[in-house]
Each structure stands twice: as C-alpha cells, then as structure tokens.
Structure 1
Amino acid sequence: MEMAKETYSRHISQKFNEELSELKNQLLEMGGLVEKQIGEAVEALIHANGDQAQQVRDRDRDVDEMEIRIDEEAIQVIALRQPAASDLRLVMSVVKMVADLERIGDEAKKIARLAIEMADDMEDHSGRRYVEVRNISQHVRAMVRDALDAFARFDADAALTVMKEDESVDEEYKSAARALVTHMMEDPRSIGSCLNQMWTLRALERVGDHADNLAEHVIYMVRGMDVRHRPLAETEKQLDAGSD
C-alpha cells in the first residue's frame, strides 16, 4: 500500500502523531546539517581556510549525537507503539536514512581534514584545479537536498530522479580524476595537492552514493518496494507498474 503524506497524522493517539512527526522533523534537521557540512568543508578546502575546516570537524560531534538521539527515539516508538504497515516503514526508513546521513557527515569530516592539511600550501589555490571539486560538490549536495525533499513530500518519483543523478555524478568523478592525473603528469610539483583533491572527489562521490541510498529508502517508505541492489531501469519499471 502506498503511503500518503497525511498518513502519519491520522492516528487516534495524538501523541503517536506527534512522535512520528518529530522523527520526521529531526531527520530533516540532521539532513540540513550534513548538507551544510559538505558545502563548508569544500569551501574550506578551496580557500585554504583551516579554521573553517576545523569548525566542520568539531560539528561532526553534533551529527553523531543527532544520530544517536533519533535512533533512540525510533526504538521507543517501535517498543511502545508497535507500529504496523506504513507507520513501521516510516520509522524503519528514518533509522536507515539517519545512518546514511551520519556517513555523509563522515565524508565532510574527511574533506575538512584534507583542507587542514592543505591550508599551508597556498600554491595555485585560486587556480582551475578546484573547478571539478566545486562542481561535483554542488551536484551531490543537490542530490542530498532533493532526497530529503522527496522524503518530506512522500514522493517516490522525486526519489527516483535522485537515483538517476548518481550515474551522472559517477561520470563526473571519473572525468575529474582523469583531468587531475593529466595535471600531475604535466606538473609533478602538483602531485601532493592533486592527490588530496582526488581524495576529496572520492569523498564527494561517496556522498552521491549515500544520497542514492536515501532515495531508495524513500521509495521503500512510500511504496513498500525494496529497490536496493537493483538496476535503475528495473526500479523505474517497477515504480511505473506500481502506479498503474
């Protein structure tokens, strides 16, 4: 059975309604924080701002604490309310999405660490070599925002659109990595900086993978379909069949 946006607000118990709504809101708050973490970590890298990078690392504790708190509240809901059907899918999807959001936070922390390492190396910090990093950063952050928006609107079709974007990010990552390899061959002095950028690109590509996971969880929540580890074309066909 497809889950409508209003489903979680139709219970006899107002307290249950509030608990489900609070879980949803806390997930969205955590998602906004990790998306911001990615953006600030990349900006710290590009502008060689060690202080900003350290702030990103410090805020990672907030992300971890949010994960623990949301997990505990989800366990409480399951234990006390024993939700069934679409309610249970909502709670379980929140738990799974929180885990992916925490891992996105970890990738932001990795980028911040690289930014700190590179902060003392000002050579070519305003050069073209950061174009790929900035572009992929913007792309994967948009994927995270769109996945969270799909969750907020209980929109499986929007979640599928996010999944389609992951293939584009993978291609951008490969192209950017090739460009950096070429640059290292042309200028061996740039090897250290380029390697750090390649690690950054890899972290951003993983953010895209986690955004893809978020979208999969939304589809499970809304349609009750487990589309993990399936070809994208098969997922799209299944969603189309389910909407008939």
Structure 2
Amino acid sequence: MPGDHSSKQYDLDLEAIRSKVLSMGGLVESQFNAAIECFRGGNAARCDEVIKNDESVNRLEVALDDACSHLIVKRQPAANDLRMVIATLKVITDLERVGDESTKIARTAKALHERGLVGVLNHYESIRLMANTSAELLHDALDAFARLDHKQAVRIIGQDAVIDHEFGAVLRAMITFMMEDPRTISTALDTLWVAKAIERIGDHAKNIAEYVIYVVEGRDIRHTDYVQTQKAS
C-alpha cells in the first residue's frame, strides 16, 4: 500500500509539472505569433509587450526546472519515469529558447518601426510562409508531447527540412533585393535575422518531437537520420 500511494503521488506530481510545461508552451506560442504580427505591422506597444513577456517565460523555466529537480530527489524515478522527467527538462529549455527567438523578432520589428520602415521595406511576405510553417510545427510538437504521440513526432521531424528549404528561399530573395537596390540592404539583413530566428524555432519544435520518441522508445535519436531509417524499415 505505501508503494502504491507513493506511485500515485509521483504520477500526480509529474502531471502537475507537465500541465505547467504545456501552459508555458501556450505562452511561447502566443509570444511567437505576436512577434510575427509585430514584424508585419510594427506596433511599438505590442513589440514591448512581447519583449516584456519573455520575463514570464524565464521565470517559468526556473520554477519548472526546480520542480523537476525536487521530483527527482524526492521520488527517485527510474526507467521510463526518469526518461519522462529528463525529456520534460529538455522541453522546458527549448521553450525558453523559443521565447528568446520571439523576443529577437519583436526587437527587430521595433527597430524597423522606429526607422519608419515597417510596411515599406521589411519584406514581411518573404517570411510569411516560413513563419506559418514554424508556428504549426511548434503547436504540433507540443500536442505530440502532451499525448506522447510517436507518429506525430516522426512527421514533425521530417517537416523540419521544409523550414530549411524555406529559409534558403528567403536567403536567395534577400540577396536579390540587395543586389538590385542597395537601399534595401539594411532591411533585407533585418529580414534575414528574423528568418533565422524563425528557422531556429522550427529546430526547437523538432527537438521537442525527438524527446517524445526518447520517452516512448527509450532511444536518443539526436544527430541521426531517424526518419529515413523509419521509412526503410
């Protein structure tokens, strides 16, 4: 009986942490979407709000890291339980970095607004498709983590190549703009900075999907061609 009680309490503690991690995920999703809106429209007050919200994300990271550490010390999980806690810690780190990238986008949008360039030369349309793809992958990765959906995680990992391709298209477009009109160099470079932040957010979504597979299969698939292996098997 004491063992059953301890196991049930561990499940409750872990589920409480996972719930807060998913809330953190919702916050960084909103932060990313708002940052892209800032880049499109250049609302200075909205930019400041996105930048300010990064403090909330950072506080959540510290609090959740602490909660996971206490859970490990108090409950001493093993096997799959330990993998779940480790994966959760890694997801927390990736979500905090998504918040950082969103803040970079908002800062760039604010700088463009202050220079009076939003809506004129900021090349929003060049990054729109890429931003939509990354936002969708981030949402799906959090959903896969919430449900430990192995199949969805595999699909997300495969989709990361799409974002890399879209980043290459943005890079080529910006080089063309700069060559044709040197006056666009400054804003083209700002757009590339934003595109790189979006590409990194896609990478973080892929990381979260990899952690799902780590929990479900007990395999660390980082730096491997896991999707191609799955197709061949």
Q: TM-score, normalised by structure 1?
A: 0.89
Deviations 1:164-207 (A, max 9, x none): 11000000000111011111212211111111001000110011
* Aligned-residue identity in percent: 38
Distance 1:126 1:140, change over 3 A: same
For residues 44 and 110 of structure 2, the distance between their equivalents in structure 1, rounded to whole angstroms, comes to 5
Task: Identify if the C-alpha distance between structure 1 residues 150 and 209 changes in structure 2 by more than 3 Å, giving closer, same or farther.
Answer: same
Deviation at 1:126, TM superposition (A): 5.7
Displaced runs of 4 or more, over 2 A: 11-15, 120-124, 126-129, 232-238
Looking at structure 2, the residues matched to 49 and 216 of structure 1 have their Cα atoms a distance apart, in angstroms, of 36
Does the CA contact (< 8 Å) of 1:132 and 1:176 recur in 2?
yes
Relative distance call for 1:41 and 1:124 in structure 2 (3 A) is: closer
1:128–1:100 CA distance, 2 compared to 1 (3 A)? closer
Contact 2:112 2:118 in 1 (8 A): no
Question: Closer, same or farther in 2 for the Cα pair 1:184/1:73, shift >3 Å?
Answer: same
Residue 87 of structure 2, aligned match among 83, 93, 96: 93
CA distance in 2, matches of 1:55, 1:129: 23
- 5 Å matches for 1:51-200? 51-123=45-117, 125=119, 129-200=123-194
- Counterpart residue identity of residue 134, structure 1: R
Mapped to 2, the partners of 1:168 and 1:181 lie a distance apart of 20
Assess if the C-alpha contact under 8 Å between 1:164 and 1:232 holds in 2: no
Residue in 2 that maps onto 1:201 = 195
1:5 is aligned to none
Residue correspondence of structure 1 range 5-16 to structure 2 within 5 A: 12-13=5-6, 14-16=8-10
Q: Distance in 2 between matches of 1:71 and 1:124?
A: 38
> Do the aligned residues in 1 keep the contact of 2:122 with 2:188 (CA within 8 Å)?
no
For the residue of structure 2 that corresponds to 1:119, the secondary structure is helix
Count residues with an aligned counterpart: 229
Q: Deviations over 1:53-111 (max 9, x none)?
A: 11111010100010011111101110000111111111110001111111111101111
8 Å contact from structure 2 (residues 10, 75) kept in 1: yes
Measure, in 2, the Cα distance between the counterparts of 1:86 and 1:200.
38
Structure 2 residue aligned with 1:27, among 21, 29, 33?
A: 21
Match of 1:223 in 2: 217
Output the TM-score relative to the length of structure 2.
0.93
What is the rounded CA distance, in whole Å, between the counterparts of 2:9 and 2:91 in structure 1? 23
Give the CA deviation at 1:128: 8.7
SS in 2 for 1:71: helix
Cα root mean square deviation, aligned? 1.7
Q: CA deviation at 1:123?
A: 4.0
CA contact (8 A) 1:38 1:137 kept: no
Tell me how far apart the structure 1 counterparts of residues 140 and 48 of structure 2 sit (CA, whole Å).
Answer: 27
1:47 to 30, 37, 41: 41
In structure 2, the CA distance between the partners of 1:128 and 1:203, relative to structure 1 (3 Å rule), is closer
Amino acid at match of 1:86: N
Unpaired segments of 5 or more residues in structure 1? 1-10
Whole-angstrom distance in 2 between the partners of 1:231 and 1:177: 25
